[in-house]
């Protein structure tokens, strides 16, 4: 009998009330409604499966890194979008994607492709809108895009965020410690920095790069901070590795706009998935995945 491995997206309750939620069950396989998965060929290899997840209202968006496409499933577990990423090379590595929003709805998608170090933006029907192949960036990591089309690419190796205009011109770079970043509803950029004498600091930048605010969070003892989301109230989601924790052990904090800790949850990091947390109105969704078997599936269930 074959062993069945599962990948789950679990819901961590961090709000004041229990929200409505949807259940998804997505199979891996070759059919159009199934996500791609390439199990590791050897003990030292990493599996290739969905590398990044986003959630918009009740819809789940997945970057299918094995098949080179973006999938969207609605609340009834029905595949409603299957978008092939245009212009990919024969061999590609897809790390992260972002959705450009307008009036609360996705209108475009932007992805990072690391094999050729390129950035591709395309419509929800798969038409290429922009492609940048840059030698100025070394290790494409995270990507985010605001409602005006300005986008941000984290370069983990060079420790900077590259800022691009909507037409693809590089505007500036921002020092970055690989600690994630988030774009709020007013298109401001939020980052985290660490200094020995202070600890961690939350920095807010305007779309034109001006510093708007700086909030000292402290917690010098924690490791690997990553900012995930800023909501309409200015509340921030930040994950860290506790001082005595292993690399996969994480604590997730919700900070108020004034820097106070509002909530805390714990989880284990699925280390081979680029973007594994998604923020909802009152919840955070966590991807807990095992991509070691081609017979796996993705089961999305709520966990209180």
Q: Tens digit of pLDDT for each residue in 230-276?
A: 999 999 999 999 988 777 888 999 999 999 999 888 888 877 789 98
Of residues 46 and 174, which shows the higher confidence score? 174
Domain ranges (residues) in the chain: 1-32+194-304, 51-176
Across 97-120, average pLDDT: 95
86-90, 164-168, 242-246: lowest mean pLDDT where?
Answer: 242-246
Which one, of 89, 90, 86, lies nearest residue 128 by Cα?
86
> Can you spell out the DSSP letters for 167-222?
TS-EEEEEE--S-BEEE-TTS-EEEEEEETTTEEEEEEE-TTS-EEEEEEEE-TT-
Dihedral pair phi/psi, residue 302, rounded to 5°: -85, 140
How much is the pLDDT for 25? Answer: 77
What tokens does 13 get?
């309750």
Tokens of 37: 């998965």
Cα 297 from chain centre = 20
Q: Which residues pair with 181 in a beta bridge?
A: 191
Residue 89, classed as helix, strand or coil, is coil
3-state secondary structure of 96: strand
- Once rounded to an integer, what is the mean pLDDT over residues 295-300? 58
Q: Looking at the predicted structure, is the pLDDT value of residue 51 above 80?
A: yes
Give percent of the chain with pLDDT exceeding 70.
87
Determine the average pLDDT of the residues in 58-77: 93
pLDDT in tens, 29-42: 888 888 888 877 77
Contacts of 30 (CB under 8 A, 6+ apart): none
Following DSSP, what letter does each residue of 21-32 receive, concatenated? Answer: ---EEEEBSSST
Q: What does the mean pLDDT of the chain come to?
A: 86
What is the spatial distance between Cα 111 and Cα 140, in angstroms, rounded to a whole number? Answer: 10
Contact 300, 23 (CB under 8 A): yes
Are the C-beta atoms of residues 24 and 80 closer than 8 Å to each other? no
The SS3 of residue 61 is: strand
pLDDT on residue 234: 93
**Residue 199: strand, helix, or coil:** strand
DSSP assignment of 213-262, as one string?
A: EEEEEE-TT-EEEEEEEE-TT--EEEEEE-TT--TTEEEEEEE-TTS-EE
Residue 281: DSSP 8-state: S
- pTM, two decimal places: 0.89
Distances (CA, A) of 139 to 136, 249, 282: 10, 25, 33
Please answer whether residues 161 and 174 qualify as being in contact, where contact means their C-beta atoms are separated by less than 8 angstroms: yes
CA distance 178 to 88: 26
Beta-bridged to residue 50, according to DSSP, are none
CATH architecture of the region 51-176: 6 Propeller (2.120)
């Amino acid at each position: 009998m074959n062993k069945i491995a599962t990948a789950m997206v679990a819901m961590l309750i961090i709000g004041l009330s229990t929200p409505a939620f949807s259940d998804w069950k997505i199979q891996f396989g070759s059919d159009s409604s199934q996500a791609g998965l390439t199990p590791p060929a050897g003990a030292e290899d990493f599996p290739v499966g969905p590398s990044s997840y986003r959630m918009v209202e009740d819809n789940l968006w997945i970057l299918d890194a094995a098949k080179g496409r973006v999938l969207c499933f609605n609340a009834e577990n029905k595949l409603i979008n299957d978008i092939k990423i245009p212009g990919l090379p024969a061999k590609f590595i897809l790390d992260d994607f972002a959705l450009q929003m307008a009036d609360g709805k996705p209108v475009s998608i932007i992805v990072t492709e690391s094999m050729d170090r390129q950035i591709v933006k395309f419509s929800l029907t798969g038409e290429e809108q922009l492609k940048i192949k840059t030698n100025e960036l070394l290790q494409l990591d995270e990507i985010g895009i605001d409602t005006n089309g300005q986008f941000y690419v984290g370069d983990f190796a060079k420790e900077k965020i590259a800022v691009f205009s909507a037409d693809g011109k590089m505007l500036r770079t921002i020092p970055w410690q690989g600690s994630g970043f988030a774009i709020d509803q007013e298109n401001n950029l939020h980052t985290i920095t660490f200094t020995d004498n202070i600890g961690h600091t939350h920095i807010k930048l305007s779309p034109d790069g001006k510093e708007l605010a700086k909030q000292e969070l402290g917690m010098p003892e924690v490791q690997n901070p990553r900012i995930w989301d800023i909501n309409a109230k200015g509340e921030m989601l930040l994950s860290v590795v506790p001082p005595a924790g292993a690399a996969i052990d994480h604590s997730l904090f919700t900070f108020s706009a004034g820097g106070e800790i509002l909530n805390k949850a714990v989880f284990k990091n699925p280390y081979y998935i680029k973007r594994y947390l998604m923020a909802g109105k009152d919840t955070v969704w966590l991807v807990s995945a095992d991509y070691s078997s081609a017979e796996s599936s993705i089961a999305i269930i709520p966990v209180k």
